[in-house]
Structure 1
Amino acid sequence: MKKQFYILLICFLATPFLFSQQNSIKIKAELDVEKDELKIQQEIIFQNTSDSILNNIYLHNWANSYRDRKTPLSKRFIKDFKKDLYFAKEKDLGSSSIKSLSVNFENVTYNELKNQADVINIDLESPLLPKSKVNISITYIVKIPNARFTKYGKTKTGYHLRNWYITPAIYNDGWHFMSNLNLDDLYEQGTDFEIEINVPKNHIAESNLYRYETKKEKHNNYLFVGKSKTDILLGINKTSQIKTFTTKTVTVHTDVFSEELDFNLTTSILNRELLFIQKYLGKYPHVEIYIDKATSSKNPIFGLNQLPKFLRPFSDTFKWDIAMFKALTKRYIENTILLNKRKDYWLIDGIQNYLMIEYIEKYYPEVKLLGNASNSWFLKRFNISKLEFNDKYPFIYQFTARKFLDQALNTSADSLSNFNRKIVSKYKAGLGFRFLKGYVGDSILNQTIQEFYQNNQLKIINGNSFYKLLSSKTTKNLDWFFNDFVKTNKKIDHTIKSIKTKKDSISVTIKNKRNITTPVAIYALKGEEIKLKKWISNVDSTKTVNFKKGDYDTFVLNYENLYPELNTLDNWKKVEKKIFHKPVKLSLIKDVSSPNYNQLFYQPDLSYNFYNGLILGMKLHNKPLIKRNFDFKVAPYYATKSKSVVGQFALLYDHFFEETKLYKISYGLVGSTSDYAPNLAYKSLIPYVDIIFKRKTLRDVSTESLRAKLVHINKDVAPSAIETDQDNYSVFSLSYNYSNPDIIKEFRYSFNTEFAKNFSKAALDLRFRTLTSTDTQLDFRFFAGVFFKNNTNGDYFSFGLDRSNDYLFQLNYLGRSESTGFFSQQYIITEGGFKSVLPTRFANQFMISNNSSIGLWRWLEVYNDVAFLKNKNHPVYFAYENGVRFNFVHEIFEIYFPFYSNNGWEISQKAYPQKIRFSLSADIKSIYNFFRRGFL
């Protein structure tokens, strides 16, 4: 072992001429486990490989990105609704403290970039000429952060480090420096490493470099070396975390292994995977490859890794195989192709996901998207159970694109929404390579990929290199792919407009429904068998293609889902015309749309209110899993307590915009009937228009909208009562709404006006919630409402101090007419926002109120409210109250205990339990939106 290492080390040190333009890094480090610190002396030999004269050098110091809440990493986490780093204790933070820095053994001026604590600028005393080099010496201490932030740092078993050392930025037509944003995309040049580290006696150091260990009296000494390496990982634990598998191509070191698979089977699978990758990419330039669990877990197989363990629709072999294949292809490519992954990530993602698709097709063609669950008695009747595992790529893309939430592939990775960055853009890139395979031919594409990989190993390149190479191997025009497909989020969407049968031929007219011109794949089928396949180019509007008559009955576009398309349901056309081209089919719950049927979905539904009791019924709708522009719903119910039929219906059409500041306009009509009091029902009919504006970016979580609606209400009247204007009325409402649900500083406001026959009024509802530097929540709300005209009698249309009358029937009250009892204690923050019931509860002229609360400990908060109410012929009434709020889930589940108000000390008064109020939201959409924050 020693002999082999020395031979390796001699070769490493004795052949610098082979890598004369290579940067090199030498590190001497010592681990202090008491302080969680690495004390480092580092030497960087930086080569100016450009044709430019450099007056400064930039260094990446990503270990410093954990320093405080002002770093780009901390701010990025806040945008992702993660506040762990922002409020972390001092002992959990990380930093990189530089003690000295010199260039060519002379002290120089250096500084952190403004607002980028993890990037260092060095001003050179003498310009660095092309093909010249400098020696940069740095002494610094790295405080290791807690691994819970990014999975790198101090773990439960020791340390798992990534981006822990200082490394030069790349100069290539300008400096390419970037801050750590938890994207694992540090742009490094291939570098020769020599790292010597001392660790405590009972610790073991492991890395993705060659290792030599020397055990000494008080510590263990490790020497790690490697040529043309990037992204050096370092693990230090009391026990070895790594298993080694020797295959026919490379040696795999990994802590990603399955206890259910034995060593021989694991080795066999790894061997198959690496041979497959080598077939497409060619030989790997290193003899070893390192796969770590932390990095692998941050790039999971979505839809597979997220399933709980008790659900096992996939075999252990399949799960481990494709998870490891994904990790291997990522390392195989990223360790070799030196692209700026923040800008050209699409190329790496495209090759990786293309290989994933090919691997699944070769070795697991029978695996369904839902795995073995597809054969269950319940699921096998659904279309989604028929989808192959690879069908997830066009399915997920279409799911996002139909909502117009996808982004161009050349969008910088730090500007992508999390859903696009983690899933959609990767899938679209993989489908893009599948598109190229179908269009130019698999031999041309595969040859290009391999040549691109082999010819550019450890070279600084960009995505344009692949474009030039592929274009040189085909006469077909590929501008549509590298321009519109990569650089825009234009959607592909074609349909078969018509089929005309002639004596000996068939004419098929293809229509392009969108603003992108790409090749189109058309198929002729006999049943499900492909009889003919042809690529059609230049379909910019419509194009008619003639085919000889043959043994086929259907023409289909994009039958094999070779490219991502906005809508594939209208891609099918029968040769023989039929009266009912697509018969109606009823399906249970939601499903994937079928091109052969017009589907209607039905699903059981239940709800509850105090007057109707348990409400049971069935919803009939046309909403599949992937959104469509026109939706309708009809939902009849039977109420068990009132023994009556209630229900609702809804019609909605979404009109999306791509080139304007508008995101979409929604036109809707909803109607419903339910009980609002014992044995008394109401009917509502509401036509409305919503105008939703685009966000500045898809990473911006703020929303801005306008809503206009006309609410018609018709209420039943008790037999002994006389119908009044409060029982049959119409109200026109116009509102503007803005929301920015930031996790640290949330700001929302709405301005609403209402016009009716006997009144008109306006109201402003403004809410601000912030977290202080000690993670204390401060909550403020301001409400102001005024009547312009009020000729009504009573307080039915008045502003409510503690409870809105909700005459528009838009709040989810369980017992909306109750004045006593449990259901009267339900609280929904609106209008006055008070919790105590005071002598003056309504205002028919104006109301101004302020609601505030301050956090004490976890969910416990103290609230204080004040308000001014004005009623006709009465002086202004001043209202006040305070109490304690248990804010378990903000605006979803809260409990209020009033203490003191205009009523005096409420806690000492009789029937105090009846004064307690609670918020309980049964709105599934609100709950879903709360928990999905930061992902979409």
Structure 2
Amino acid sequence: MMKLIFFQTFVFVLTFMGTGNTQPFQPKYTVTASMDTTMKKVTGKCIIHLQTQLSEVTFHAWANAFRAKTTPFAESFLKHKNNIFYFYDNKTELGGYEVLKVKSNEQVITVDPSQEIIKIPLPANGKDEHIIEIEFTLLLPKYTEGLGWNKNYIRLSSWYPTLAYHDGKKWHETPYLPDLVLPEAMGEHIINLSVPENYRLLYEKNSIKNDSSSALKMVTEGKSPVIVVVLKDKISTYEYNGDKKITWTVFKDSNQSNQTEKIDNAIFFFNKHFGYSGTTHFFYTSFIKKKKHNDLAFIKFQVLPFLYHHYNVSENQHFFLKALHRYIFVNYVESQGKKLIKPEVLIKQFVGNTKNDEADKYFDWNGRTDYYFSHRFDLDFPDCCFHTISNNAIKHLESYLGKEELFSIITNYLKDHFHEEISFEGLFHYASQKSGKDVLPILLSYTFKDKRVDYYFKNYSVNDDSIFVEIENRTGNVVPFPLQLETKVGSKEIWNDGFSGTQKLSFPKQYDYEIIKNVTIDRNLIVRKFQEKTTG
């Protein structure tokens, strides 16, 4: 038995942030499709109505990014994010369009179903109104990023072809625009999707926000929850006519746009990106088998635009930004009295109670059990390994300021620097100004044989040759300490004999900051080395 899911999303004319350009036409998509969960396929038809004087249009078919390990997406994914994709079976675990049949103004157009960029001509019909019909069969990949199947769920994003962005002069074939506002998602999207009765639809809402007026709001019409998203001064809607067991708990704060949701009798996943592959619309869908979890509350946190592309952030600052976001998220959830979900809990839910090869496919254990999020499960904060210097710095700020004040300072710092450079130095200067206190993050603090030492982290920078960490010793006691750098190719212990005052430590660029996963302070190692040096 099948059940019919109906979506309708309206997004009116959206100003392209930062450029002032707008999409010259507002397409209307009507998609009718069905899902075969056994064969892991989606078969459907997409009809696009649009008005334009162009003679050719460009479509994205980004689901084809998963069809081979040699696509640009796959190569980037393997290089920077997750090598699990490399081990996927070419026949059963990769995906992409098996069929793409196109008609443009009733004329058959031959296209290559394996391509990610599709050019479709618009045969002259004596008017500016055009109709494009695309029949498709999509083989879903094993879940990698935003699209695919896994043991307990199927996730859809960027699953039917959509128009690329046209700025009035040219097509932007790549989705990675500087301001990442996804103008190609504009228009009207009506989705009719049939799924097996034993699958329950859960859907996700994302909005790009840069001020408090763009808070997420919820209203109810009849028995179906309708989510209204204010995107600047434009509105898009989400409607769900499925399972009535979903309950909504909404916390509204006009200053911080906080929104949480509690889902009964289901697992609820959230996407960490707004349109990771660039063509995801203003909705996501997940199909998850019913499974009861009475003791867990899955939280969606929407306090700031968690879109790194909106910040002027260099690669070596991403760890810092993620650490800030994680701090905000964790403390907000705790303030609501909710239970955070640790990775080992997720592992038990999905692959059993013990570590095994199956578990390792989904979670980078890395010897850690104290992180809340793993990108294998696509929760809000994808990286289970955060820059420890960032976390130590934030913890030290908290010891100075307290949770409430630090929460406010970090959120306001990110808002005030929405399109500006963010940095450790900038945050600490901002915190000092706002709090009236001299705040420097502590990197290391311990006492041994009545000697107390506090090493404070002051700055972190990178040039073409070296990585620099500037540290200050405020106690005057000179005590040795190690820094341990973990990279993808192993770990390297860098020992320092200690110093008083301020010193800038430099690490050779052979420990490329782009592959540094963590910087740790091993207190046991410090004590052992200190004993060796004092007794030796």
With normalisation by structure 1, the TM-score equals 0.30
Q: Give the TM-score normalised by the residue count of structure 2.
A: 0.48
Greater Rg over alpha carbons, structure:
1
Name which structure has the greater RCO, CA cutoff 8 Å, separation 6+.
2
